[in-house]
Chains A and B, each alone.
Chain A
């Protein structure tokens, strides 16, 4: 890779720049997945170390942050895989469910109708302009059951396919589908309660 700086100088400064520029970002990213401050700090360190060691492979085509986030995603996946090995999915209460169960008895009647209809969400696009909305969404994701949250983050935030997640975690597609379904149902309900339900009427008053 051509560079105007002598290799030693480049190597000496780059990682510290990364820590200053992207350290907090990577930390927040990690924290959302693992919800453990010490673990998140370790993941940032591992990521920067790996980036430092693999800096030759950085071709400059992607933005630095994207490149570092990619490394962090791998580290998070490794970490979650280790957690899964230590506490297999079957230990998660009710993760192994029969097709009909799905644990949504408070949401649907026995006949499969909505117990309470989903309410109209007032201008969701506008909500995303409000900093408190992100706090609410963040809080809702944090409150998910740990394994649901991990699957949801891997799927929706990291953009892994269900196949990838199942292969990595050694769980069945059915299980992954059930957990993601539950996560989405909880998040929907949580946002409805904590954001879209109360806020608009309060603002009008």
Chain B
């Protein structure tokens, strides 16, 4: 029977690739018997969901912005690029 350390690794691996039948079985068996690892597994699942949500949601709410200086610089680069193209 795998210990909690090994199970934590196995569960992390399950988020990256499909487990083999044997691995799945050991994981399931351990989780059935071990409340601490069940909690851990739930936390990693949540972490994954939250990270995905972060992309769609937190980004629009955070106050971080491009500085005016950078914005101007990018605008200049873009428009000079546009002028060059239309000149060709």
Contact = CB atoms under 8 A, between A and B. Distances in A.
Contacts, number: 147
Interface residues of B, number: 49
Contacts of B53: 128
Contact of B16 (A15, A107, A137, A180): A180
Interface residues of A, number: 58
Contacts of A24: 64-66
A35 to B, nearest CB: 12
Nearest to B39: A118
Contact of A48 (B9, B47, B48, B78): B78
Interface in B12-66: 12-13, 15-17, 35-36, 39-40, 42-44, 46-48, 50-55, 57-62, 64-66
A121 B85 CA distance: 56
A52 B81 contact: yes
Interface of B: 3-6, 8-9, 12-13, 15-17, 35-36, 39-40, 42-44, 46-48, 50-55, 57-62, 64-67, 70-71, 73-75, 77-79, 81-82, 85-86
